[in-house]
């Protein structure tokens, strides 16, 4: 049965097609997709790591289901959280900030089952090459920055901007698979056998 293991049904609390694709890649197909509707505004003085974990926990708690998987990915430059840009001007600002520098991508993942909620944060270091004004303008024109934390998608055109990462690639895409499978396995959700 799709999205179930040992009689458990998995609900993904995210509308992200990237998260669905990553889960499918490792044999996990949610039985339901129910995006969480929560306020994602950072609290005053909130640091990136606790912010990512708080959002994942709140999303998992906000969605009903047998087993619920929620995640939230943030890009941080030092203590500054670079969320999803609201417009092209903010995306440009983010790309200029990240150009030629190392930053962190943190994904909070949370799994709830039977009233219990388990969460963790996975961190990956990423370095962008120094970007020219033309590269930034071309990237903004592509529209790929829309809906992406930090204003870029490593699995798309921005792959050409990333000479180095330290840690989980799937984390930068939006879901650290090794850690996610560990939490899901503990909740009774296992990858489906190949057909």
Joined tokens for residue 89? 């001007």
Q: Tell me how long the chain is.
A: 195
The one catalytic residue among 72, 114, 133, 138: 72
Q: Give the span between the Cα atoms of 70 and 175, in whole angstroms.
A: 10
- Catalytic site residue 133? no
3-state secondary structure the chain: CCCEECCEEEEECCCCHHHHHHHHHCCCCCCEECCCCCCCCCCCCCCHHHHHHHHHHHHHHHCCCCEEEEEEEEEEECCEEECCCCCHHHHHHHHHHHCCCEEEEEEEEEEEECCEEEEEEEEEEEECCCCCHHHHHHHHHHCCCCCCHHHCCCCCHHHHHCCEEECCHHHHHCCCHHHHHHHHHHCCCCCCCCC
Give catalytic residue positions.
72
């Amino acid at each position: 049965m799709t999205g179930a293991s040992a009689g458990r049904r998995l609900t993904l609390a995210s509308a992200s097609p990237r998260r669905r694709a990553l889960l499918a890649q490792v044999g996990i197909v949610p039985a339901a997709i129910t995006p969480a509707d929560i306020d994602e505004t950072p609290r005053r003085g909130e640091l990136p790591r606790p912010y990512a974990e708080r959002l994942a926990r709140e999303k998992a708690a906000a969605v009903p289901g047998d087993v619920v998987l929620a995640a939230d990915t943030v890009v941080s430059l030092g203590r500054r959280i670079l969320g999803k840009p609201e417009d092209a001007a903010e995306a440009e600002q983010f790309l200029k900030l990240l150009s030629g520098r190392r930053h962190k991508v943190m994904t909070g993942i949370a799994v709830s089952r039977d009233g219990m909620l388990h969460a963790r944060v996975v961190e990956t270091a990423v370095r962008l090459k120094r970007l020219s004004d033309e590269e930034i303008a071309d990237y903004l024109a592509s529209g790929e920055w829309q809906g992406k934390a930090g204003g870029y998608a490593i699995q798309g055109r921005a792959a050409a901007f990333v000479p180095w990462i330290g840690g989980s690639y799937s984390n930068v895409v939006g879901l650290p698979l090794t850690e996610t499978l560990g939490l899901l396995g503990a909740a009774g959700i296992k990858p489906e056998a190949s057909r």
